[in-house]
Each structure stands twice: as C-alpha cells, then as structure tokens.
Amino acid sequence: MLTHITFDADGLTLAGDLRVAGDGAPAVVLTGPFTGVKEQVTGLYAARLHERGITTLAFDHRGFGQSAGRRAHEDTQGKLADLRAATGVLAAHPAVDANRIGVVGICLGGGYAVRAAAADPRLRAVAGIAGAYNSPARFAAGDPDGYRQALVSFIERWDEELPAVAPGGAPAAMGGDEPFAYYGTERSAAEHWENRVTHGSLHSLMTFDALGAAPLLARTPLLVVHGRKDDYCSPELAEALFEQATGPKRLHWLDAGQHIDLYDAEPYVTQAVDETAEFLRSVLDGR
C-alpha cells in the first residue's frame, strides 16, 4: 500500500511516497534523474521493487515536485542531506529493521546514491541503475580551460533559468532529442514536474564528484546496472566506479540502446528491477 508522507530535512518539508512490504522486510530509499519527481522514474522503480518484497521510499528532493526549497535548483549538498533524512525516516519506522536499509539511484541519482552510501554507514547496500557517476577530474582532463570557462558561465548566470528539455536541438539543460522523448512527452507526465532549471544547477552537476566516492564505500556492497550503449550516462564511468569500489560488488550490463530505456521501457526496466531486487535481498537478508 502506498502512503503519502512528509518529513523534514534542514527545516524543509519534503514529500514522499512510502510503500511498506511487511515487518522486517529489506528497505530502500530511492533517488533519481536530474529534475525528476517521485511520480516518474523513482516511483516506477519503487513500485516494482515493492512488488518483490522490498519496502521503498521515493520522494521529491528539495526544490522539485511537492517538496519545499528553492525551485528548480540542483543543490548537491542539500540533496545528500535529503537522503540522510529519508534514511532516518526508514530507520525509525516500526516495520523497518534499521540494519537492513539500502539506497537505489537511477541516472543522476546513481551518483548521489554512491556518495550517500560512502558517507552514511546506515546504508548497508547501494545500487546504481543507468547511473551518472560524475567526475570533475575527468570532465576537465580533456580541456581544462574549457571546463573552467564553462564554470564561469554558469556562475555568471547562476539565478537564470533555462528549459530542462527542448525539442529540435533548442538550448536546454538536458539537450538533444532523447531527453525530450521522455520529459517532453506523455511518457513522463507528472503534475508537479516543471520544465525549468537554474544555470547554477549545471555548475552543481559539473563539480559533483560521484566517482571519487567509490573507494570510500569500504565494505558496503555495490551493484551497478548499466546499458552497454548510453549517450548521457557514460558506461566508461560506470565501469570505473565498479573497478574503484573496494567492497563486494556486481556489474550487470543490459543491451539497451538508449539511456532512457532504463526509465520506463521493457524489457530493460524488468531486467534492472529483477537484478536489483535479487541483489538487495541477498545482501540485506544476509544470504
């Protein structure tokens, strides 16, 4: 059963959807794509994992959906604080065993999930699905001056907004036809999603180091599920994350042709959910 809840993070009220699978069932908090809301990708994965016996909490990060906070702005440290608060909600729930909580991230959420698990030992497992494992060092390596100039441009226009997606190659935070094919169509229809984001958000994306968290996971089990072809979240970075992780780990490749195939397309979502559910149960059930 789905229960709409609210909880506090840094004095902000966040909105979430809680699905309890039963007393003592493994539990996960979910975090998802850039600009996404809980009725889209995280909600789909939350529902599908719940069907497989896992308690799930999908929520709107600060500034997005039904949660409070500065609108349409990617706040890196704020989102990590949101995940800490959401983990606390699960840990305090009477049907949840606080020793059996993990985190699942899809797209940009994959990087946040890894960074959250690296800093919060309450998270006993982490799974990234089509994850964005951003690495400022790698972004800058090919063109250091260009990277620095991009940061300057984002800072100069920090408070200005641009569309999250746009058709026909028009300027957008997520440029190109593929993001528009999801967010610009009925595929992603959600009442509280907004097609806007700040330029400051792009600075956050370009400076967020998810890959660097891999060695900090210690013995936390890691699952990486990724499409072999992905033009938006690099398979090479997914492989680098896997290689640099220090604990028990699995890497599962899917033969998807597009990044957004893992948002809502079959058979890829079912394949990703099945692999993730089996991983979570094997780790959090102690099998």
Task: Summarize pLDDT for 54-96 with one digit per residue, the tens.
Answer: 999 999 999 999 999 999 999 999 999 999 999 999 999 999 9
Position 287 confidence tier, pLDDT thresholds 50, 70, 90: very low
Average pLDDT for the chain: 97
Alpha-carbon distance of 138 to 196, in angstroms, equals 27
pLDDT at 125 over 80: yes
Residue indicated by tokens 């792009």: 202
pLDDT at residue 142, rounded to an integer: 87
For residue 67 the two structure tokens come to: 């949660």
Alpha-carbon distance of 80 to 152, in angstroms, equals 24
**CA separation, residue 254 to residues 2, 262, 267, 277 (Å):** 29, 9, 10, 16
For residue 58, what is the enclosing H or E element? strand 55-59
Please give the model's pTM, rounded to 2 decimal places. Answer: 0.97
Strands 2-9 vs 27-31: parallel, antiparallel or unpaired: unpaired
pLDDT at residue 286, rounded to an integer: 58
Please say whether the beta carbons of 110 and 130 come within 8 A.
yes
For residue 138 the two structure tokens come to: 């790698």
Taking only the tens place, the pLDDT of each residue in 5-39 is 999 999 999 999 999 999 999 999 999 999 999 99
Position 285 confidence tier, pLDDT thresholds 50, 70, 90: confident
Return the higher-pLDDT residue of 183 and 285: 183
Please say whether the beta carbons of 130 and 41 come within 8 A.
no
Q: What residues contact residue 160 under an 8 Å CB cut-off, 6+ apart?
A: 198, 199
Average pLDDT over residues 90-109: 98
Of all residues in the chain, the percent with pLDDT exceeding 90 is 98
Alpha-carbon distance of 221 to 15, in angstroms, equals 28
Alpha-carbon distance of 249 to 115, in angstroms, equals 16
pLDDT at 1 over 90: no
Residue indicated by tokens 């220090």: 246
